[in-house]
Structure 1
Amino acid sequence: MESNIEALEKRLWTAADQLRANSDFASNEYFLPVMGLIFLRHAYSRYLAVKPEIEAGLPSRGGVTRPLTKEDFTSRGAIFLQPEAQFDHLASLPDGADRAKAIIAAMEAVEGDYAALAGVLPKNEYQQLENDVLGDVLRIFNDPALQNAKGDVFGRIYEYFLTQFADQSAHDGGEFFTPPSIVQMIVNAIEPDHGSVLDPACGSGGMFVQSAHFIEKMQQDPTKVATFYGQEKNATTIRLAKMNLAVHGLEGQIEPGLTYYTDAHELVGKADFVMANPPFNVDEVDAEKIRKDPRLPFGLPSVNKSKKVSNGNYLWISYFYSYLSDTGRAGFVMSSQASSAGGEEAKIRQKLIETGHVDAMIAIRGNFFYTRTVPCELWMFDKAKAAEHVDKVLMLDARQVFRKVTRKVFDFSPEQSQNLTAIFWLYRGQEERFRELVAAYLDRAMTEALASDTAMEPFLDALDGLIETLDEGAPDELTDARAVFQADWDAYLAATKSLGDEWVDGTVAIAELHEGHGDVEPLAEASRDLVKQVDQLFKLAERAYRDAGGKRGKTSPVKALEETRADAVDQLKLVRYFHRQAQWLLSRFPDARLVAVPGLVKLVDRAELAANDWSLTPGRYVGVAPEEEDEDFDFEGVMRDIHIELAALNEEAAALAAQIQGNFAGLGL
């Protein structure tokens, strides 16, 4: 299902890119009409999803059922759509129809029903697009897969498009978008589950959306338990944010304004949660305009001779702190320079630490953002810290925790994000949540092991089928490898079934978790070895088929073998993957208690902070992790693969040399 959604996202992106390729729009012009169409399509999807339920509950008098109203849909997190605003109407317009005019009418109908969206949705931009191009994009956005989409698929698609446009720097230099894994880390750390949630540099509203997802996981309705307040300087970005909220069934009070000089919501001392990714290292902020600002409880940072604040980082830090209520929490992204800055900034940092409200610092490596490659840090404030932590700060160095999305962009995998969050659970004495996560990993590893047989069967059938097609019989190397694999595979299945019969899901006692980890470990290691054997079998079979004169094509047995191999290998890898997630946690926190882990985490007291110039740079305290051996590097396997490939290349070279010699002979040379 996940791969299907990803493929759909990419297909829609390719289709949307037609708007740019077939118009005079630059990349910073066509993103808004694209996001508008996604908004309409998602609104229609939500409309169709809740409509039957609404209609079933409508009262009737004298056999006449009252018409649908906006209120019916709002109560279910959906948007009421007039007939002209429904996406199937737009997608089915005949070629002679004016599609731009119809889309504009649809947008106006939505804005007419929802005052919060008035003037937000794109309209006139569609008049600059060719009618047939609009028709193609409308039809593609009405893909049958989208018509049957469940859950928050469109929310994901909206976020995917925001990501792509940020990667292009198609709007506001890409600063309007904070990568989801960074936002999720902040959300997981401060847990914004109620009350007022403020983002004074809200961009496209990602902090609000992820907060809402968190609340939904707590089995609550975000529209009933939280209120979202945003401030943003760019008018176009405000439109994106309001559309983003609406696409997720949310509303927020998002106001224009430059936060350095304006406080649109007047929430000083009132916000339950503050979240933000402000612009880094902004200079030339007018110090005279903000000198008496109540949001600067620790005073102004360094001011230059021109009476300008030379770096705005500590303005933001002070603002975020000032907004918090007596029990509020804050989480925000900040330049890594800020945590050890000198001058007036160091004095402000000391005062902040002395309040006892600096809760945690997380160091993030570079390349997590689409528009900047420098590393950053996540700051956490908590005005309701546990008494035993008032004079301490949790230092978490996550620079070695990442996965590569592309050559130039990194993020946290869902499991990496969970593992880092589990450290916060231990810090807050929530050991049971930590143990439940470890248990979930072990249960998942066991589930994937039990599912391996179903994934392997098509591969073995395809392999045996290919072997049967070989006219002169399969080479001994292939048949021997097939026999060895069968024996190993039978042993793996027997061990899996034996352990599965005894497995008890959800065990959370720490001693039993260690025992379960040890029980699953042989399966995890065996799955790694089986993956190597499957890959070797495929290479041997492919070579044997080629040597027998077989041709590769869509219907060839090699193609079928390759496809089933991928499924089998992916399934086997999951066993070890989830076992290793449990191992990552248990090896670092064996007693389900927070301890200092070199290179990763340390709880630092105020005396140590003072001795280090009040620095809040995690790497300064956690030390260096011992170098770990790469357990996945298999020298013998690599050499075996090289041998197979080298033998094939030698055979091809010999055949080519013979052919060349024959050609020369034919020419009489």
Structure 2
Amino acid sequence: MAKEISREEPEKLSLGTLENWLFGAANILRGPVDQADYKTYIFPLLFFKRISDVYDEEYQKALEEADGKIEEAEFRENFHFYIPKGCQWKDVRATTEDVGQALTHAMHCIEKANEGTLAEIFGDAQWTNKELFSDKLLIDLVQHFSEHDLSNKNVEPDLAGQSYEYLIKKFADLSNKKAGEFYTPRPVIRLMTLILQPQDSETVYDPACGTGGMLLEAFNYVREHKGEFRRLGLYGQEKNLTTSSIARMNLILHGLEDFRISRADTLRHPSFFEGDALKTFDCVIANPPFSLKKWGEEVWENDPYGRNFAGMPPVSYGDYAWVQHMIFSMAKPGGRMAIVLPQGALFRKGAEGKIRSTLLESDLLEAVIGLAPNLFYGTTLAACICIFRINKDASHKDRVLFIDASGLFKKGKNQNELLPEHVDQIYSRYAANETRTGVSRVATLDDIRSQDYNLNISLYVEPVIEEDTTTVAEAFSDLRKAAAECETAENRLKQLLSESGAL
């Protein structure tokens, strides 16, 4: 009797298996590729393999539904993303010479076949540069990615997205200072999203979106709160081609479709419009480059959109160009925004001081949250989060909440970390909106005027001074004990030096 063939579904890949496997691909690149550039090559390959496996899965389903009629099964409407013949993963895998050329050809074909959704998504990786990539290295890399099936039956979209986020974090850790341009620690994003509380059917905009983490967290927030998350409109703009491509791949791998990511210089060439005016959004959230130089002052002197409404930022610091662009982009009822800034932007004088005074007198600033140092890649300095609202609640009118969260962090070897419990503590301080010594202060606009619009947190949140209750007798006792320990150590040192012949 013939042995019965098992029809059991293959066991789905676990997140841990996926993470270890994907990071293993980076080990193949060690040597010829700088760690900071791993993302340029690993992410496109992962995305190519994922959509290719899903395409094969969708093709088999379409073929069954078409009773084996190949022509009918190949209709484009059967596929989420269409992959032309000769451009599938299996075609690249079968290539043994000029593998880089085969990869480049396949990726360009896929982009062209899906222009509405995947144009330029694979970035500009130098696959054909044989000084970087020998055929053997690329064959090893393709073979490594071929070890697992990434179709939906094996890997759910959210799991694929989580493993993708894992790689983004891992590569940020490896490249360290070079990661600041594209990666914001996720706990910081979580805090900002908790404060903004995006709702379904609202729009969320990140003008410096990096790899899309802030847009993704807004989506996660709505989903966690049982909202109709697919009605959320997500908009992002990013100057760097590779980084903007990663953002698009990131959102797609999380199962998102209703989003727009534009590649352009936001301060010089904003991308989103309503008629001739800039588009406005319900939530605006960003971690723009700190104190950017050559940020576009030549455009802003006569900005056609009027974004310099509070004043012209200095040439050497672009922080308040980002602030004003974002305020301009949230100018609708209920509009709110959260931005990460270097703390220097809170107190620098000159043009920035004048801009601060205008924004404060307009009663747009709701809260300033000082974070711990060394949380962000690329800088050891302490940053802050500033919250702005078009229409502040009555309890916030003509007031600004200052929060000192500089002591909330986990010490790390190279980078400090904001833990989930720290996020909860900071958010509870924000929600309480109260003055607590050493923790927070609700300052009136008159208080801030008296400080010449200086927003330095230490001017408002007074540190807790612990009273020293040590008696004189206890102090003398401690002194005698310390002197005795010092004498013992000195005698031991003399003994060791004598034994070694040094004395």
* Contact preservation (8 Å) 1:204, 1:241: yes
Alignment of 1:21-420 (within 5 A): 21=31, 24-27=32-35, 29-44=37-52, 67=73, 71=77, 74=80, 79-81=81-83, 89=90, 93=93, 96=96, 99-115=99-115, 116-122=117-123, 125-127=126-128, 128=130, 129-144=133-148, 148-150=154-156, 152-169=158-175, 174-193=180-199, 194-228=201-235, 230-251=236-257, 252-266=259-273, 268=278, 270-284=280-294, 287=297, 289-293=299-303, 294-302=306-314, 309-326=315-332, 327-404=334-411, 406-420=412-426
Give the letter aligned to residue 295 of structure 1: R
- Cα 1:51–1:422 change in 2 (3 A) is farther
1:597 aligns with 2:436: yes
The 2-side partners of 1:68 and 1:214 are apart by 38
Q: Say what the alpha-carbon RMSD is for the aligned residues.
A: 3.7
User: How many angstroms apart in 1 are the aligned matches of 2:240 and 2:248?
Assistant: 13
How many Å separate the matches in 1 of 2:245 and 2:209?
A: 12
Alignment-mate amino acid for residue 121 of structure 1:
F
Whole-Å separation in 2 of the counterparts to 1:343 and 1:63: 73
* Contact 1:69/1:80 (<8 A) preserved: no
C-alpha distance in structure 1 between counterparts of 2:103 and 2:403, whole Å: 49
The code of the aligned residue for 1:249 comes to: G
Does residue 17 (structure 1) correspond to residue 27 (structure 2)? The answer is yes
Q: Amino acid of the residue matched to residue 291 of structure 1?
A: E
- Measure the CA separation in 1 of the matches of 2:88 and 2:194: 37
SS of residue in 2 equivalent to 1:400: coil
Are the structure 2 counterparts of residues 400 and 225 from structure 1 closer, same or farther at C-alpha, using a change threshold of 3 Å?
same
SS where residue 596 of structure 1 aligns?
coil
Which ranges of structure 1 fall in alignment gaps of 5 or more residues?
Answer: 303-308, 428-593, 629-669
- The match for 2:482 is none
Q: Which amino acid aligns with 1:133?
A: L
CA distance in 1, matches of 2:397, 2:410: 34
Match of residue 663 from structure 1: none
Deviations 1:229-257 (A, max 9, x none): x3333333333333333333335433343
Q: Give the CA deviation at 1:375.
A: 0.8
Kindly provide the amino acid, as one letter, of the partner of residue 108 in structure 1.
H
- Taking the TM superposition and a 5 Å limit, the aligned residue runs for 1:529-544 are none
Alignment of 1:496-535 (within 5 A): none
1:108-140 deviations in Å (ceiling 9; x for gaps) = 343133213223315773333233433433343
Corresponding pairs, count: 440
Task: Answer yes or no: is the 8 Å Cα contact 2:82–2:114 preserved in 1.
Answer: no
Measured against aligned partners, the alpha-carbon deviations of 1:310-354 in whole angstroms (never above 9, x if no partner) come to 322222222211221222111111111011222232222122122
Structure 2 distance, partners of 1:268, 1:379, is 22
Equivalent-residue separation in structure 2 for 1:96 and 1:26 (angstroms): 25
What is aligned with 2:462? 623
Contact 1:278 1:316 in 2 (8 A): yes
Distance 1:6-1:611 versus aligned 2 partners, 3 A rule = farther
Separation in structure 2 between the aligned mates of residue 284 and residue 117 of structure 1, nearest angstrom = 31
Partner AA of 2:445 in structure 1: R
Flag the 1:109–1:387 CA change in 2: closer, same or farther, 3 A: same
Report the alpha carbon displacement of residue 39 of structure 1 after superposing the two structures with TM.
1.4
Using the TM superposition, give the Cα deviation of residue 96 of structure 1 relative to its aligned residue in structure 2, in angstroms: 4.7
Q: CA deviation at 1:171?
A: 9.9
Spell out the pairing of 1:448-463 with structure 2 (5 A cutoff): none
Distance 2:40 2:238 in 1: 17
C-alpha separation between the residues in 1 aligned to 2:166 and 2:87? 24
Given the superposition, is the C-alpha separation of residues 11 and 374 from structure 1 closer, same or farther in structure 2, using an over 3 Å criterion? farther
For residue 486 of structure 2, what is the aligned residue in structure 1? none
Residue identity in the other structure for 2:338:
G
CA pair 110-214 structure 1, distance change in 2 beyond 3 A: farther
Task: Tell me the CA shift for residue 387 of structure 1.
Answer: 1.9
- Does the 8 A contact of 2:437 with 2:464 survive in 1? yes
Q: Contact 1:59 / 1:66 at 8 angstroms: preserved in 2?
A: no
Deviations 1:50-81 (A, max 9, x none): 889x769x97799999536555555xxxx455
TM-aligned CA distance change 1:59 to 1:422, over 3 Å: farther
Q: Is the 8 A contact 2:214 2:286 kept in 1?
A: yes
Q: Which amino acid aligns with 2:111?
A: E
- AA partner of residue 19 (structure 2): E
8 Å CA contact 1:70, 1:113 repeated in 2: no
Secondary structure in 2 matching 1:207: helix
Amino acid corresponding to residue 16 of structure 1 in structure 2: A
Distance (whole Å) between structure 2 residues aligned to residue 95 and residue 284 of structure 1:
45
Q: Given the superposition, is the C-alpha separation of residues 34 and 621 from structure 1 closer, same or farther in structure 2, using an over 3 Å criterion?
A: same
Residues 606 and 124 of structure 1, relative CA distance in 2, 3 Å threshold: closer
Report the Cα distance in structure 2 between the residues aligned to 1:226 and 1:39, rounded to whole angstroms.
23
Q: Deviations over 1:177-208 (max 9, x none)?
A: 22222222222211233433222222222222
Match of 1:654 in 2: none
Q: Check the 8 A contact 2:326/2:337 in 1, yes or no.
A: yes
**Structure 2 SS opposite 1:157:** helix
Q: Distance in 1 between matches of 2:46 and 2:307?
A: 38
